[in-house]
Chain A
Amino acid sequence: KAGVTQTPRYLIKTRGQQVTLSCSPISGHRSVSWYQQTPGQGLQFLFEYFSETQRNKGNFPGRFSGRQFSNSRSEMNVSTLELGDSALYLCASSLPETDYEQYFGPGTRLTVT
């Protein structure tokens, strides 16, 4: 079974721009969560989607948003990029009945200049 895939793997953007990252969960997984990983803050929960609905949200500004499609694929968007948004963005998927057992993708490395 294929794992969680994320595209693109690397991205360089300029301050003020916006960016969209994509995540395809493991087949059959309907819950998708997003995390930000930085050297200073570690891994932080952004939000979680299930059946196209945002079910939970972490403590991030409204510039960070996401959505989920009917095939469970998910995108996250960051608008008005700031230098501090440079990070590894991780997507994780899980089965509905084992929501808490999450499987992670390789991440998208975003660099904001």
Chain B
Amino acid sequence: AQSVSQHNHHVILSEAASLELGCNYSYGGTVNLFWYVQYPGQHLQLLLKYFSGDPLVKGIKGFEAEFIKSKFSFNLRKPSVQWSDTAEYFCAVNDRYSGGGADGLTFGKGTHLIIQP
């Protein structure tokens, strides 16, 4: 079964610092990749997604992620973080089986990001 690893469970940064959160999945094939964010007291929101095409995808709030197929990675980046980026970030993968039909998302354990003013 697919598994997702997020290397950093807790990250603390100062405002304006650059951010990179790592995400690796266990095996290849055709995959859909996602980053979700959960702000304090709010529900999971889709930050960005990769289905196919340009491996560098841009999402909301200045976030971007790069899909590197050879490394099974989909790292999240932001050049300059803000205090409002404090949240839990989840990487998720969906395997697109040739038989069709949706399967559930496999999530990483999440990264708790704290931005200090």
Contacts and interface: CB of A to CB of B under 8 A. Distances in A.
Q: Which secondary structure dominates chain B's binding surface?
A: loop
Contact of A48 (B42, B44, B92, B102): B102
Interface residues of A, number: 27
Contacts of B1: 59
A56 B102 contact: yes
B107 A43 contact: yes
Interface string B59-71: 0000000000000
A100 B43 contact: no
A100 B51 contact: yes
Given A42-B108, A43-B90, A100-B94, A56 B46 contact: no
Contacts of A47: 104
Given A42-B110, A106-B43, A99 B104 contact: no
Contact of B46 (A31, A55, A101): A101
A64 interface: no
B34 to A, nearest CB: 8
3 smallest CB-CB distances across A and B, nearest first, come from A45-B104, A99-B102, A43-B107
16 contacts: A33-B104, A42-B107, A43-B90, A43-B92, A43-B107, A45-B103, A45-B105, A45-B106, A48-B102, A56-B103, A58-B104, A100-B51, A100-B102, A102-B46, A103-B46, A104-B43
